[in-house]
């Protein structure tokens, strides 16, 4: 008998449309012989199913929906939202209350990884290398000169907990800091300013389940702009992505092992992607993406192809792992 799955997209961040693309790619690659999958779109309090070009409201009391007088009750939720409420633990808490298994980390792990400063501080305490940074809160008093003296120039200014690639600036002169900070504050109430690491960028996806642990091939990221921003991430003409990366087997293995350690340290679940900057022999962690992009142009599908696996098989591992854990807990 087929399982009924909600692929949840949309959300309240600036990457609403990209989330829809991620969800569409997931829907197209889920095994239709095993799953009846529905696209569920969330924006604010507007929760609905998009089905056969019609919209049907979700009953938030039990996360069900009526379509043509038939009640659809979901057995599993595949979360494809970039940003709030899907990436920061809010939606996970709701699903946990309803005892509906889902594809991602739990509430604590999601909230921790979503907050860049908190996550980097935690990883640094465990011995992982991260860029030096400063956290600013809305309304706080700061000195651009003090920031420049502590972190040096250039530096990166980013929203601290937004879940998108909007609002990011590479600042080369102290006098440009204030404008970049205001731009980042437009996307969220906290801003993180990070020291620039003059190195090469890499990323590695992975998935750990009861059945199989998979560390995907490492991707080398070569943006044609100064850094890997929103445009470079989603426009294939704005960045060169090489999978597997043109690095030694030894360095590739180091990155993969680090990814595995970070996955465990953050108590991750589902498909995760860890981003890095490498300077000389040092590997710096940039961030952990617990709901990485899954569009046709995203890293994860390309890494899956490079390891000669089918995306449908990987998605199947994610879904079925949740039910293995439920069965184990009920024994």
> Is pLDDT of 225 > 90?
no
Residues 6+ apart with CB under 8 A from 205: 216, 259, 271, 272, 273, 274, 292, 299, 300, 303, 304
Q: Is 174 exposed, middle or buried (0-12, 13-18, 19+ CB in 10 A)?
A: middle
**Which ranges of the chain does DSSP label H, i.e. alpha helix?**
16-29, 90-97, 107-114, 116-125, 144-151, 177-185, 230-234, 249-265, 299-306, 311-330
Question: What is the arithmetic mean of pLDDT over 214-236?
Answer: 73
272 in Cβ contact with 263 (< 8 Å): yes
Of 195, 224, 250, which marks where a domain is finished?
195
Full-model pTM: 0.92
Q: What's the CATH code of the domain at 326?
A: 3.30.470.20
Domain total in the chain:
3
Model pLDDT for residues 9-48, shown as the tens digit of each residue: 999 988 899 999 999 999 999 999 999 999 999 999 999 9
DSSP codes joined into one string, 139-191:
T----HHHHHHHH-SSEEEEESS--SSTT-EEE-SGGGHHHHHHHHHTT-SEE
For 227, the domain range is 198-330
Question: What is the arithmetic mean of pLDDT over 158-163?
Answer: 82
* Shared domain check, 191 and 209: no
* Shared domain check, 226 and 324: yes
Model pLDDT for residues 271-322, shown as the tens digit of each residue: 999 999 999 989 999 999 999 999 988 999 999 999 999 999 999 999 999 8
Question: What is the arithmetic mean of pLDDT over 69-92?
Answer: 95
49 in Cβ contact with 72 (< 8 Å): yes
125 located within any domain: no
Residues 6+ apart with CB under 8 A from 295: 18, 21, 22, 25, 234, 301
* Shared domain check, 137 and 212: no
258 located within any domain: yes
* Shared domain check, 46 and 17: yes
* Shared domain check, 228 and 175: no
Q: What's the CATH code of the domain at 170?
A: 3.30.1490.20
* Shared domain check, 318 and 251: yes
Q: What percent of the chain has pLDDT over 90?
A: 83
88 in Cβ contact with 114 (< 8 Å): yes
* Shared domain check, 49 and 140: no
Residue 331 pLDDT level (bands cut at 50, 70, 90): very low
121 located within any domain: no
* Shared domain check, 317 and 211: yes
């Amino acid at each position: 008998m087929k399982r009924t799955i909600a692929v949840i997209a949309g959300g309240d961040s600036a990457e609403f449309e990209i989330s829809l693309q991620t969800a569409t790619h997931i829907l197209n690659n889920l095994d239709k012989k095993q799953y009846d999958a529905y696209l569920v779109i969330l924006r604010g309090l507007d929760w609905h199913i998009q089905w056969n070009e019609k919209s049907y409201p979700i009953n938030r009391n039990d996360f069900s929906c009526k379509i043509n007088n038939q009640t659809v009750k979901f057995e599993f939720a595949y979360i494809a939202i970039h940003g709030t409420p899907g990436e920061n633990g809010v939606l996970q808490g709701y699903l946990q209350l309803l005892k509906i298994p889902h594809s991602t980390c739990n509430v604590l792990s999601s909230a921790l990884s979503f907050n860049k400063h908190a996550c980097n501080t935690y990883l640094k305490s465990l011995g992982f290398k991260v860029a030096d940074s400063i956290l600013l809160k809305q309304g706080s008093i700061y000195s651009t000169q003090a920031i420049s003296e502590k972190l040096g120039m250039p530096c990166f200014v980013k929203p601290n907990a937004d879940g998108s690639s909007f609002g990011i600036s590479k600042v080369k002169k102290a006098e440009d800091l204030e404008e970049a900070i205001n731009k980042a504050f437009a996307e969220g109430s906290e801003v993180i300013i990070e020291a620039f690491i003059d190195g090469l960028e890499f990323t590695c996806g992975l998935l750990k389940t009861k059945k199989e642990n998979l560390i995907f091939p490492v991707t080398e990221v070569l943006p044609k702009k100064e850094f890997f921003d929103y445009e470079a991430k989603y426009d294939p003409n704005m960045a060169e992505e090489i999978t597997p990366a043109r690095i030694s087997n030894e360095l590739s293995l180091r990155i993969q092992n680090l990814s595995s350690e970070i996955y465990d340290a953050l108590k991750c679940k589902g498909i995760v992607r860890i981003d890095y900057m490498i300077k000389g022999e040092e590997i710096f962690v940039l961030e952990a993406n617990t709901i990485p992009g899954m569009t046709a142009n995203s890293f994860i599908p390309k890494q899956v192809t490079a390891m000669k696996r089918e995306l449908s098989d990987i998605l199947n591992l994610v879904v079925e792992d949740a039910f293995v854990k439920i069965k184990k807990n009920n024994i």
